[in-house]
Amino acid sequence: TPSPSLIPKLSHLRIFLNDELTNVIPITTEMLGQLTRQRVALDARYLTDFNRLRIEFVGHYTDLCEDLAHSSLWLDIS
């Protein structure tokens, strides 16, 4: 569930598998404030005996000077 205050064209998720960028999921207008499901395909070439999945949230609530600790910058992942 992404914050309803996010700017869709600038906000997104980056998915890394073992430190390799495998997907970028844009946050669309339809997703804002809504429970959303995403299916992410992982490239088997990056799988090893020990795997690490990392999700980076890149969120923007304005296109001007932003406060990185602003209460509008959130995304609920479960």
pLDDT digits (tens, 9 = 90+) for 8-57: 989 999 999 999 999 999 999 999 999 999 999 988 888 999 999 999 99
DSSP readout, 35-69? ---------GGG--SS--EEEEEE--S-SSS--TT
pLDDT of residue 65: 85
The model's pTM: 0.84
Angle, CA 63 vertex, CA 29 and CA 60 arms, to 5°: 55
Give the pLDDT score at 44.
87
With 0-12 / 13-18 / 19 or more C-beta atoms within 10 angstroms meaning exposed / middle / buried, residue 11 is buried
